Amino acid sequence: MSSMYYRSLNGKSKKVNFETAVKNGLAKDGGLYFPENVKPLDSNFIKNIGNYSNFEIGYKVIKQFIGDSINKNDLKEILSKTIDFNFPVVKLEKNIYSLELFHGPTLAFKDVGARFMANCLGYFNKNKSKLNTVLVATSGDTGAAVANGFYKVKGTNVVILYPKNKVSEIQERQLTTNKNNITALRVNGSFDDCQKIVKKAFIDKELNKKFNLTSANSINVARWLPQSLYYFFAYKELQKENLVFSVPSGNFGNICAGLIAEKLGLPIKHFIASTNINDTIPRYFKSQVFDPKPTIQTVSNAMDVSSPSNFVRIQEMFQNFKDLSKIMSSYSFDDIETLKMLKNVYEDKNYVLDPHGAVGYLGLKKYLSINPEKIGIFLETAHPIKFSKDVEEVIKIKLDIPEEINKILLKEKKYIDIDDYSDFKEKMFVLKF
Ligand SMILES: *Cc1c(COP(=O)(O)O)cnc(C)c1O
C-alpha cells in the first residue's frame, strides 16, 4: 500500500493522513485539506471502464486517497455499503442527458458522501471507548443524508441543527424522525445562524472536551472525494467523446469532485457550474473578484450559499485563471427561469425535474448554445418529491410519494428548540445520547 497525505490549504498545519483528515474535518489552521498529489489512473482502465462494476470502479478511484488508513478488505466493505443503489443516465434530447443521483436512501446526491464518511468514522472508532459527536448545520439535504448514514454507526452521536420554517416538510421529517443516536435541533433563525453556532462550538474548549466534535459537511475529505465517482459512472454509461457536465452548485463540493475525476484521467471536456441567484462564482468568472453578498432564499434551497467553501480547492487545482476558464464556466439563473424550465421539460418531455436539476439543465442549455458539438450531462441532484410544494404547483399534477417517504410521514417529529448559542450549549449538556 502507498501513503497519501493531506495538506492544509492555509499552509500552516502539518500534513496528515486520511484518518486524521477525516477526524479533524478542518485543519487546525482553519484551512481545508487537499490531497498532496493526485495520480492519474491507468489509461487502460478508463478505456475498458465498461467491463467494471460500479463497485470495482469505486475501489479503483478511491483507494489512492485512503493510503494506509484503511486496509483493502475493509475499504471494499465500506464501499459496498456506500454505493448499493443505481445512478441512471436518462436521455432527454439528442445531446442532453440527466444523471439521476437521487436513488439513495434520502433521495439526494449527498447520500454517497455521507455514507462513506459515516462508515469510515465507524471503522476508525471501532476499538475506541471515546465517542465522537458529529455536529452538522443543514439547509435540508445534508442533515438527512448524515442522519441516515450515521444511524446506529458505532461510537458516534449526531447532532443536526436546522433552521425553523426554512426546510421542506419532507426534509424536516427526514431530520426529526430518526431517534437512536441522532438528535435534531430546530434553530430559531436561518441556515447561516445554524452554521454560526456550529463554528462557535468547534472553538469552544469545554464542549470539545466533553463531546469530541467532528464536522460532516463537504469540507470533510471523506464526504467530498467519493462524489468523483458519479462522473465515472456516467462516463461508463455513455462512453462518448466531447462530454461536458453541468453541476447545480452551492458549496461547490460536487463540481470540485468532478474536477478531481478529470485530473484522474477521465476524458471530460468542460464543467459548467450552474447556480441560482446566489451568484458569487458566476460573477467571479466575469471579474475575477470573489465578492460574496448576503444569501438570498430561493426555490433551490440547497444552493443558497453565497460563500462556497470548496472554491479554494478549485483555485488550488487551477492557479491560473486562463487554465480555470478553459475547463470551467459558471452561469446563474433566477427562480422564474428555473420554474419555467421545470414546467417546459415536464410538458415537452414528460420528465419531472427538481428545482436544482432545473438550474443544471439551464446551465447546460446555455453552454451548448455556444458549443453545439458537445454532449452534455446535467446532474439531477434531488428527487422532485423533496420539493413537491413548488414542483406540483408548476406542473399541476400530484407526484407519487416513494415508499421510503411514506414511512417517515407516519412517524412523529422529535426536535429540541434552540434560540441562540448559550441555549444550544446548555441543552447539549443535558442531552441523553
Ligand atoms: C447540496 C446540494 C447541491 C449543491 O451541492 P454542492 O456540492 O454544495 O455544490 C445541489 N443540489 C442539491 C439537491 C443538494 O442537496
- Whole-number pLDDT of residue 112: 96
- Whole-number pLDDT of residue 275: 98
pLDDT tens figures, 115-129? 999 999 999 988 777
Q: Which residues of the chain have pLDDT under 50?
A: none
- Whole-number pLDDT of residue 166: 86
Which of 34, 30, 58, 25 lies closest to 318, judged by CA?
Answer: 34
- Whole-number pLDDT of residue 386: 93
Q: Of the residues 168, 245, 303, which should be mutated to test ligand 1's pocket, given the most ligand atoms within 8 Å of the CB?
A: 303
Alpha carbon 383 to its chain centroid, in Å, reads 14
| Ligand 1 nearest atom to the CA of residue 252, by list position | 9
| Ligand 1 nearest atom to the CA of residue 102, by list position | 13
CB of 32 shorter than 6 A to ligand 1: no
| CATH number assigned to the domain covering 87-108+224-395 | 3.40.50.1100
Residue 139 Cα to ligand 1 midpoint, Å, equals: 10
Its sign, for the CA torsion 98, 99, 103, 107, is negative
- Whole-number pLDDT of residue 244: 98
Domain parsing of the chain, residue ranges: 87-108+224-395
What residues does 392 pair with on adjacent strands? none
CB of 218 shorter than 6 A to ligand 1: yes
Q: Of the residues 106, 107, 109, which should be mutated to test ligand 1's pocket, given the most ligand atoms within 8 Å of the CB?
A: 109
CB of 249 shorter than 6 A to ligand 1: yes
Catalytic residue among 47, 60, 110, 205: 110
User: Do strands 6-8 and 33-35 pair parallel, antiparallel, or not at all (unpaired)?
Assistant: antiparallel
Half-sphere exposure for 184 (CA within 13 Å, toward CB): 28
CB of 360 shorter than 6 A to ligand 1: no
CB of 111 shorter than 6 A to ligand 1: no
- Whole-number pLDDT of residue 128: 78
- pTM over the 0.85 mark: yes
Residue 433 Cα to ligand 1 midpoint, Å, equals: 30
CB of 110 shorter than 6 A to ligand 1: yes
Residue 309 Cα to ligand 1 midpoint, Å, equals: 12
CB of 143 shorter than 6 A to ligand 1: no
- Going from the C-alpha of 274 to that of each of 14, 52, 175, 300, 373, the distances in angstroms are 35, 31, 27, 11, 20
- Whole-number pLDDT of residue 305: 87
Residue 249 Cα to ligand 1 midpoint, Å, equals: 6
CB of 141 shorter than 6 A to ligand 1: yes
Are the C-beta atoms of 345 and 351 separated by less than 8 Å?
yes
Q: Is 23 a catalytic residue?
A: no
